[in-house]
Amino acid sequence: RLLWRQNAHRIEAEAIRDAVLSVSGKLNLQAGGPGFEDFQYQEAYAPIYTYITADKPELWRRSVYRYIVRTTPDQFLATLDCPDPANMTPARLTTTTPLQSLALYNNAFMLQQAQYFADRLVSEVGDEPPKQVQRAFLLAFGRLPATQEEQLAVRFIEQEGLFAFCRSVFNANEFVYVD
């Protein structure tokens, strides 16, 4: 009776990254073994860590296998409230800021994965927008679209393209929040 009043809960930054990889079809399911480094290390007066875009299968593993640099947090994950690894954090902060939407829409990793998602839709269901929308909703939201959602999404794909639609799906509240 009171469930409708429950506050929405955004999933953690690492889970968002993993969900994006899963939906785009690029999640590397290799379990165990050494972690992966999604940064370049440069020896200088003080070590310099430069994060790189995850663009190969070794970097598409689940976030639990990421090496964490305590002195240089990943800006994308930090924007999504990933805790600062240099400090003890008994509880994660959850904020809602415009920077989070911008990161989900414009980050190089997100743009690359949106293209992979669009490519996956074309390879699985072809070039018909209604089928692409249905498959995208199943993959991203675990449900079929309502009639009006499907009509609006098809119109959006016809006007803006499949890539723009996939970017928008990754930025949808239904994708990043647990109801």
Least confident range from 59-63, 86-90, 119-123, 125-129: namely 86-90
Contact 175, 142 (CB under 8 A): no
Question: What is the pLDDT at residue 118?
Answer: 98
Contact 24, 117 (CB under 8 A): yes
Cα torsion through 167, 134, 11, 116, rounded to 10: -40
**Span 38-61, mean pLDDT?**
86
Tokens of 44: 């200088």
Contact 121, 132 (CB under 8 A): yes
Contact 33, 64 (CB under 8 A): no
pLDDT grade for 78, boundaries at 50, 70 and 90? confident
Model confidence, pTM: 0.89
Question: What is the pLDDT at residue 92?
Answer: 80
Distance CA 178, CA 172 (A): 12
DSSP conformation class of 174: H
Kindly list the distances between the CA atom of residue 33 and the CA atoms of 17, 29, 42, 69, 83, in Å, as whole numbers in the listed order: 20, 12, 24, 19, 24
Instruction: Name the packing angle between helices 129-141 and 108-125 (round to 10°).
Output: 120
Question: What is the pLDDT at residue 1?
Answer: 63
